Chains A and B, each alone.
Chain A
């Protein structure tokens, strides 16, 4: 039995490398949005310059009550790279004022997925990260990497929204002009949210963090939904650090959200490493700056 808005949350579910996962809902999926709740991407031995940093979710759409989400990996070692993915869907029918959709491969800094029929003033307008494709023009060291998405209102006479995306790749080479970010859009109108049984918020982290964000009455049986909205890592930049920095690994997110006293509770991990040394004398360094921001949801069951 779904909540008054027919919203169901499934996941997080694990995808290894270039694999896929299938979400099974209680009824026919009429709209859905998917995104990362956790990413882990690595390079083998971490003594190589890299050109491509791509982790991309995609789907061919819902099939009855199931949604299969696939993952593409570029540059990272597939065997060492994985994600946890969450899927939010309307089942049976899509109520007025609920908009869920994904947009793939937006150019950095741009907007996409213009939606005009959002059913009135919005109460939740949230972007969730579902992929990034960041490339340099040649193999290079890596000093910084990040991506994020959001939802902006368009200056027009009717409530109209757009998904916006951004990303960054910093190193010794120019970032390719075709770099992209992918995201999902969750928009719930104020009138729809008044029906109850669903809520969301955002939280920021700068390291491993135990998150607890109140969302629903603690007597409401519910399922949690954790989505990564953005992440960024920047490693030490200083004179005399030695060779590299060669990319080693990034981890951002949580895989085990639960509902505790009406709040979403999860341990969110955040760490990224580069190597300033050689294969046999590694000088592994954590990030100087790191951030990850999350969309936290709860849907009554």
Chain B
């Protein structure tokens, strides 16, 4: 397409339906509108943007122990559409599982999909996912210049001794130097002993971000860490008003955007949980900023909650580091 680099990066977002199956929901990401003559999808990947995992229980209690907690995204490509099976897992190994309880947020998953589109494969350019990186133990080495990432694309926490949880921490990262990068991540808890793994998304892209002093071609995208203003925690959680401002190339504007997550920490009083969420409640699935603005904004809610007895909820020391990836196109 005129004025766009080859290859280009295409960004799409979707969320699973609330009050539907927590496992096996098929999300379809159609990239056809970004594929020009002679171009094809060179690579594809998925990234986890947000989620809510919420118990339905077989007792009078609303909250239960943590034995299994995780999100798993399974991609399949058919032509110009990437199909992603979104799986949200939650169990206490006592017959309680993820679902849509009354009076609590429904289990759901928010996904950003990325496709690398161009006329031919270029050495050092790729998008992809790595599955089941063991917490702090196993890493994946890759090459490219530069490598972007890693970002969370899934996680799994399992316990042989289910119990109340004090905190949950998830992260994915890529470290250099040079063109050799190592992807790593961790999923950990306190108070309840768990085994954790994470899935990670990373990509490499040859062209720099747009700049006044640089020489085209420029990247048709930009990643900006979100600036977030958090509310004080309450039973409704911590509400974060976020924004990210971009610098599109001349004659272009933001046409798509999504969220890439680096690190989350849910601090909590040691307690059972009814639900845990890092969920975008405005502007997801995303739409271009109003009036061609170069700033995207929205609202995210972060909480971990137990309504039984004296309620427990997320603590103010919790944190989230996430970025917005914006795709640019002709204005």
Contacts and interface: CB of A to CB of B under 8 A. Distances in A.
Contacts of A104: none
B209 interface: no
B94 A289 contact: no
A152 B78 contact: no
Given A121-B41, A149-B74, A153-B45, A237 B96 contact: yes
Contacts of A164: 74-75, 131
| Interface residues of B, dominant DSSP | strand
Nearest to A294: B26
Contact of A127 (B76, B87, B121): B76
A221 to B, nearest CB: 22
A109 interface: yes
Interface string B78-107: 110101010101010111110100000000
Contacts of A110: 131-132
A151 B76 contact: yes
B281 interface: no
Contact of A150 (B43, B76, B79): B76
Contacts of A229: 76, 85
Contacts of A162: 131
Nearest to A125: B77
Interface string A206-240: 10000000000000000000000111101001110
Most buried by A among B41, B43, B95, B201: B95
Interface string A144-173: 101011111111111110101110101111
A126 B78 contact: yes
Contacts of B28: 202
A289 B22 contact: yes
B203 interface: yes
Given A153-B126, A237-B99, A170 B91 contact: yes
B128 A153 contact: yes
A206 B68 CA distance: 25
A290 interface: yes
Contacts of B127: 153, 155
A146 B44 contact: no
A125 B81 CA distance: 11
A170 B25 CA distance: 17
A159 B40 CA distance: 13
A206 B95 CA distance: 23
A201 B78 contact: yes
A106 to B, nearest CB: 10
A291 interface: yes
A295 interface: yes
B24 A174 contact: no
B93 A232 contact: no
A148 B75 CA distance: 10
B202 interface: yes
A199 B77 CA distance: 12
Contacts of A290: 21
Contacts of A122: 41, 77
B131 A152 contact: yes
A154 B74 contact: no
Contact of B24 (A121, A202, A291): A291
B128 A168 contact: no
B223 interface: no
Most buried by A among B72, B123, B125, B156: B72
Most buried by B among A152, A159, A172, A199: A152
A204 B123 CA distance: 36
A121 B99 contact: no
Contact of A156 (B60, B70, B126): B126
Contact of B77 (A126, A234, A237, A293): A126
Contacts of B59: 239
B21 A206 contact: yes
Contact of A124 (B75, B79, B140): B79
B77 A109 contact: no
Most buried by A among B45, B89, B199, B202: B89
B23 interface: yes
Given A166-B74, A170-B97, A237-B99, A202 B131 contact: no
3 A-B pairs with least C-beta separation: A155-B128, A291-B24, A150-B74
Interface of B: 20-26, 28, 40-45, 56-60, 67-68, 70, 72, 74-79, 81, 83, 85, 87, 89, 91, 93-97, 99, 120-121, 123-132, 140, 142-144, 147, 149, 154, 156, 160, 183, 197, 199, 201-204
24 contacts: A109-B132, A109-B156, A122-B41, A123-B77, A149-B74, A150-B85, A151-B76, A152-B74, A152-B128, A153-B44, A153-B129, A155-B126, A155-B201, A156-B143, A160-B128, A168-B87, A170-B95, A171-B95, A172-B95, A174-B93, A199-B79, A201-B81, A234-B97, A237-B58
Given A155-B142, A160-B128, 8 more contacts: A124-B78, A125-B75, A126-B76, A151-B77, A153-B126, A155-B129, A157-B124, A231-B24
